[in-house]
Amino acid sequence: MEKPFDAITPDENGVMFFFKGPHLWKGFSGPAQLSTESFKELDDLHDIGHVDAAFRMHSTEHADSHDHIYFFLDDKVFRYYNHTLEDGYPKGVQEEFPGVPTHLDSAVECPSGECLTDSVLFFKGNDVHAYDVATKTVKTKSWPHLPVCTSALRWKESHYCFNGHNFTKFNPVTGEVTGNYPKDARNYFMKCSGFGHGNSRKQKCSDIKLDAITSDDAGKTYLFAGPIYMRLDDIRDGLHPFLITRMWTEMTNGVDAVFSYSDRLYMIKDDLIYIYKPSVPYILIEGYPKTLKEELGIEGNVDAAFVCNNKHTVHVIQGEITERMHNVDLTATPRVVKQSFPLPITGIDAVQCSEGGVFVFKGSQYYEYESAMTMAMSRIAAIPNNITSEMMGCED
């Protein structure tokens, strides 16, 4: 079998690095390059031909180490920020992480909420050493049901153990594996010819066309376009598209509009509305889908829908020649349209309401308004802005 990766870690900007011997791969595709091109101290001067393990620290309580990258080789640890080795490093592993063994197989961060406290999991053989960042204490467990993790990764709030070309998703507290694993990483993490979505390319920002965009009560922001969705709030892990059915199993034909209200996600397609409660994947509430007429008192196709923070009105946008915004009180029974306003923009694709105002998306551009009422009262469209790579991970 081909030699596995030595380590996998994102940097402080969410760019993923795959290490093997003296080389690394930057991002999920592209050619190999020498590690010294990105981390110049990983050279012969320090007797480094490879790394044993690497991870990006998650510890918001400790600004001096949060988002810094740690590399391990034998009994030494190197700490980087902005691809620069920090003063005082390398140090002994035991000096930096008391109780953690040397000559590691892999390491991965585990933030509070996913583990009990901000932690780092260090793997050596079938043993995992859970290091508490705050107390600097270690608890050692044995997880023989996992393969030897030659590299490990936390990505999109999930933890993965890599061995060869295969990976296994595991619970970072118990080590439990749920689902059919191992799986071939080339179908998921690397864009390889003949595997998975290896021929996919970044979409140009000028070609962007959204179907919906919303933020849920937990602060997760989702973009929907065609059959895919993307999380926009977890930039630390980079921006990456997934199939909508990965999280919302029943939405096999995409969405027309999505909004969040009272810890529920409302997804509209054609004349039906689906209501989900948060889980992984999201769980469709019993009795749904229902018709838009039955749920919101609205008939016809919907172009966009949004609810502003701490409000109880969903603003539903419809129209082919002239767009109109219908206001529906979500606390009322039955729910019916209370107000309706013509809008100064036609061909609206999606709308998002946030603390910064209301953002109206049309093709590759967006318009900003102070509030939903400001937009409803406007007779002239605001000045459009172009969608950028920083906003949505597209190519400028």
pLDDT tens for 9-39 read: 998 888 889 998 888 888 776 788 888 788 8
The answer as to CATH 3.30.465.10 being correct for domain 7-187 is no
pLDDT for res 235: 67
The token pair that represents 227 in the structure block = 């059959």
Q: HSE-up of 11 (CA within 13 Å, CB side)?
A: 16
Calculate what percentage of the chain has a pLDDT beyond 70. 93
The reply to whether 205-386 shares the fold of 7-187 is yes
- Identify the CATH assignment for 205-386 out of 3.90.420.10, 3.40.250.10, 1.10.10.60, 2.110.10.10: 2.110.10.10
The chain-wide mean pLDDT, for the chain, equals: 90
pLDDT for res 1: 40
pLDDT for res 240: 78
List, for residues 102-145, the tens digit of each pLDDT value: 999 999 999 999 999 999 999 999 999 999 999 999 999 999 99
Taking a C-beta distance cutoff of 8 angstroms, is the pair 263, 276 a contact? no
Question: Where exactly are the structural domains of the chain?
Answer: 7-187, 205-386
List, for residues 232-277, the tens digit of each pLDDT value: 887 667 777 889 998 999 999 999 999 999 999 999 999 999 999 9
Taking a C-beta distance cutoff of 8 angstroms, is the pair 235, 248 a contact? no
